[in-house]
């Protein structure tokens, strides 16, 4: 796990997310506290649990992005789940423990990738030897010929040669489609694992060119060199101590008046989530996982409800409350210009593949921001996601005609934006649907 000071965390998040300083500060402290806990002597270490965070703010202001970037920054396993997809036992929906199983699967994949990268050099050597064996059947003892062929292989002179490689046959067994209903996915996965262990893996020989065969053999050798028991052990430890679970739409299961009609299962969902957040033991296909030290970040808009509508026990498990600000015109201008992954940069890179040199004039960016803010006010406020809608509409014609366009330079200024949106903006009803 990477070690950052809180200031460094906020600085890194600033590269991708505009504003929301209070939320950034809260997650930076939570991340640093994980490192601090590791430095505490053993008897007390287990008693220190993460201070879970509740993010309150409208959609499209950066709640999910903050959590996702934080996990990527720390190299921590991360999963996002929607609380509304979980339902009380007896109702159709997902089992709440599946969020922990998903986290473990992500953790295993991360550790597997790291371990394969660690043995990549050795796997490359072994793959090269196997390619030479395939190119020289029956001549493995001829050292001089083998070395000449090795030099040709490294120089790319044999890239057009075709060899036969043994690969695993794709496709599950027919019996794997037994459980397909909602809420049964975990049982289906467990059944698949059991049946998969009972029957031997099928293999087939496939013809492919040398570069492709080399990559396939490299992957096979890397998988063989990696100790799967070590992968599982490290993955479970990382999920338990570094894992982050982001529970979105927590406000959708906050009971308001409660107790009658379709809202009857809301409190039941909260009570089912509660043991996971409090700390319990979950059985997964890789082993037992304790959730005591997983960091939970919950988020919701809370338009129709408020945090106090959550059951008291669940409220108490999210002691840090952070309110995120709604985004306005000035924020949209910054979002379009400052982040490393700004929409303007994305469109420039996309159209550069067609040989189009796209540039955005300051007044063009201001017009897009102004339009997004105005539409958010008139219709549903979806935050920065409105920029995607506006930008796609502004550049729709250019994206369509780019391959045939004679002029290779395009400047998006205020007039360009207004011209592309004139008909839509003129009709309020149309703009509600289109923008």
Domain boundaries, the chain: 6-104+238-323, 120-225, 329-434
Closest by CA to 170, choosing from 197, 145, 207, 203, is: 203
User: What pLDDT score does 94 carry?
Assistant: 63
Report d(CA 220, CA 215) in Å as an integer: 9
- In the chain (435 residues long), the average pLDDT of successive 10-residue segments reads 82 87 90 88 85 88 88 89 71 73 92 88 86 73 76 80 75 47 49 56 75 84 87 91 90 65 66 87 89 90 83 88 87 89 91 90 91 84 87 89 83 88 68 63
HSE at residue 385, side-chain half, CA atoms within 13 A, is 12
User: What pLDDT score does 324 carry?
Assistant: 87
Give percent helix, percent strand, percent coil of the chain, each to the nearest 5. 60, 15, 30
Q: Indicate the pairing of strand 53-56 with strand 281-284.
A: unpaired
Q: What is the pLDDT of residues 377-387, one digit of tens each?
A: 887 788 888 88
Report d(CA 329, CA 367) in Å as an integer: 9
For the domain made up of 329-434, give the CATH fold: Helicase, Ruva Protein; domain 3 (1.10.8)
- Radius of gyration in angstroms for the set of CA atoms belonging to the chain, rounded to a whole number: 27
Rounded to two decimals, the pTM is: 0.78
User: What pLDDT score does 235 carry?
Assistant: 92
Q: What is the pLDDT of residues 224-242, one digit of tens each?
A: 888 888 899 999 999 998 8
Q: What is the pLDDT of residues 275-314, one digit of tens each?
A: 888 888 888 888 899 999 999 999 988 877 888 888 888 8
For the domain made up of 6-104+238-323, give the CATH fold: Rossmann fold (3.40.50)
């Amino acid at each position: 796990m990477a070690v950052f000071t809180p200031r460094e965390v906020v600085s890194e998040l600033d590269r991708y997310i505009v504003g929301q300083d209070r939320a950034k500060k809260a997650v930076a402290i939570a991340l640093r506290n994980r490192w601090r806990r590791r430095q505490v002597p053993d008897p007390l270490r287990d008693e220190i649990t993460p201070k879970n965070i509740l993010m309150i703010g409208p959609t499209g202001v950066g709640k999910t992005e903050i959590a996702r970037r934080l996990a990527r920054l720390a190299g921590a396993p991360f999963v996002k789940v929607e609380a509304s997809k979980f339902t009380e036992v007896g109702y159709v929906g997902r089992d709440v423990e599946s969020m922990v199983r998903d986290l473990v699967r992500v953790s295993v994949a991360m550790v597997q990738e790291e371990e394969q990268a660690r043995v990549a050099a050795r796997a490359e050597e072994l793959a090269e030897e196997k390619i030479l064996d395939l190119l020289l059947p029956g001549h493995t003892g001829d050292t001089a010929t083998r070395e000449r062929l090795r030099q040709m292989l490294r120089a790319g002179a044999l890239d057009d040669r075709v060899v036969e490689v043994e690969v695993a046959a794709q496709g599950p067994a027919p019996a794997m489609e037994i459980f397909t209903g909602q809420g049964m996915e975990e049982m289906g996965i467990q059944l698949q694992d059991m049946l998969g262990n009972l029957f031997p893996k099928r293999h087939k020989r496939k013809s492919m060119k040398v570069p492709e065969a080399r990559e396939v053999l490299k992957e096979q050798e890397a998988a063989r060199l990696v100790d799967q028991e070590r992968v599982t052990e490290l993955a479970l430890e990382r999920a338990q101590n570094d894992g982050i679970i982001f529970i979105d739409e927590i406000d959708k299961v906050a009971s308001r008046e409660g107790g009658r009609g379709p809202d009857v299962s809301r409190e039941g969902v909260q009570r089912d989530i509660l043991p996971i957040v409090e700390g319990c033991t979950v059985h997964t296909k890789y082993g037992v996982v304790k959730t005591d030290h997983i960091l939970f970040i919950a988020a919701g808009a809370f338009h129709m409800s408020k945090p106090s509508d959550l059951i008291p026990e669940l409220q108490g498990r999210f002691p840090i409350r952070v309110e995120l600000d709604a985004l306005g015109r000035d924020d949209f201008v910054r979002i379009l210009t400052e982040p490393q992954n700004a929409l303007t940069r994305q469109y420039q890179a996309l159209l550069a593949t067609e040989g189009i040199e796209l540039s955005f004039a300051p007044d063009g960016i201001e017009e897009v921001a102004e339009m997004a803010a105005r539409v958010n006010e008139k219709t549903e406020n979806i935050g920065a996601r409105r920029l995607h809608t506006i930008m796609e509409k502004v550049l729709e014609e250019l994206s369509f005609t780019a391959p045939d366009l004679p002029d290779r330079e395009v400047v998006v200024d205020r007039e360009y934006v207004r011209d592309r949106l004139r008909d839509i903006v003129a009709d309020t009803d149309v703009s509600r649907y289109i923008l």
